[in-house]
């Protein structure tokens, strides 16, 4: 939650993006298992639910030691407070992507517990995930069969390429841009070619934009595969993703779920 001393960044911003009646006594939304059962698990007949701790500090604060400690504590907290007493719930491995060494160690540790079912990363990372410095994280996730659960959010700051918008509705819609950037990075940097078993789940970022994105990628590949962008040719399998929109939907979307 982005908060200033005088209040929220925008008028009409919903605290924690949660309904007013989702706040338990004495804690933030999602912190009370009894209320979660009453409002969500039981009335909706939930059979299998995956926890998504929306805590930005555990996803890349400038103090990596503190962030890593918070991420580990969040992972322990999910098991102790939610998964142990509630069989319908599973945990996400909260990580700090800016510290690949620590992340790999955390993934290795949590892979021993089958109650962890994904590695959680927010879309707002320091750099796009296709960059090489993140590859050890993706390799560890793929090796242990963890999908990457990429939820909208992450590091605080402007989400647009042109600065802060005037209204919350603009800010909210701009969150999809980060998801598009992440998908393009994973494709164009050859991550899916190098890690064919890796699965990525784009969570709460919409999907209608994928049609236009696929069409645009097709056109740009056809026009820029040579010349200034000839370096893409060193990844020959990339053509399989971008040759046509149907291939993009059929091949990539099998591994990228929106």
User: What DSSP designation does 119 have?
Assistant: E
Give the list of residues 6+ apart from residue 95 with CB closer than 8 angstroms, or none.
58, 59, 71, 102, 103, 106, 107, 119, 120, 121, 137
Task: Give the model confidence (pLDDT) of 106-151 as tens digits.
Answer: 999 999 999 999 999 998 888 999 999 999 999 999 999 999 999 8
DSSP state of 226: S
> For residue 69, how many other CB atoms are within 10 A of its CB?
14
DSSP structure string for 184-203: HHHHHTTHHHH-TT--EEEE
The pLDDT tens digits for 45-67 are: 999 999 998 875 545 567 899 88
- Residue 231: pLDDT over 60: no
If pLDDT is split at 50, 70 and 90, which confidence band does 234 have? very low
């Amino acid at each position: 939650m982005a908060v200033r001393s005088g209040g929220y960044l925008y008028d009409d911003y919903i605290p924690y993006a949660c309904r007013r009646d989702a706040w338990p006594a004495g804690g933030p939304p999602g912190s009370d298992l009894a209320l979660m059962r009453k409002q969500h698990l039981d009335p909706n007949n939930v059979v299998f639910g995956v926890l998504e701790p929306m805590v930005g500090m555990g996803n890349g604060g400038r103090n990596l030691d503190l962030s890593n400690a918070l991420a580990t504590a969040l992972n322990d907290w999910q098991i102790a407070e939610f998964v142990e007493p509630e069989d319908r719930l599973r945990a996400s491995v909260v990580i700090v992507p800016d510290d690949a060494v620590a992340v790999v160690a955390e993934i290795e540790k949590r892979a021993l517990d089958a109650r962890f079912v994904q590695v959680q990363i927010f879309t707002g990372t320091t750099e796009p995930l296709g960059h090489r410095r993140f590859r050890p994280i993706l390799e560890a996730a793929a090796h242990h069969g963890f999908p990457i659960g990429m939820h909208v959010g992450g590091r605080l700051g402007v989400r647009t390429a042109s600065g802060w918008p005037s209204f919350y509705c603009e800010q909210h819609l701009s969150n999809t841009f980060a998801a598009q950037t992440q998908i393009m990075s994973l494709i164009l940097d050859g991550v899916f070619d190098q890690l064919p078993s890796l699965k990525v789940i784009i969570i709460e970022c919409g999907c209608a934009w994928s049609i236009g994105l696929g069409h645009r990628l097709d056109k740009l590949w056809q026009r820029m595969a040579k010349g200034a962008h000839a370096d893409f040719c060193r990844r020959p399998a990339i053509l399989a993703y971008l040759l046509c929109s149907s291939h993009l939907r059929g091949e990539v979307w099998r591994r990228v779920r929106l």
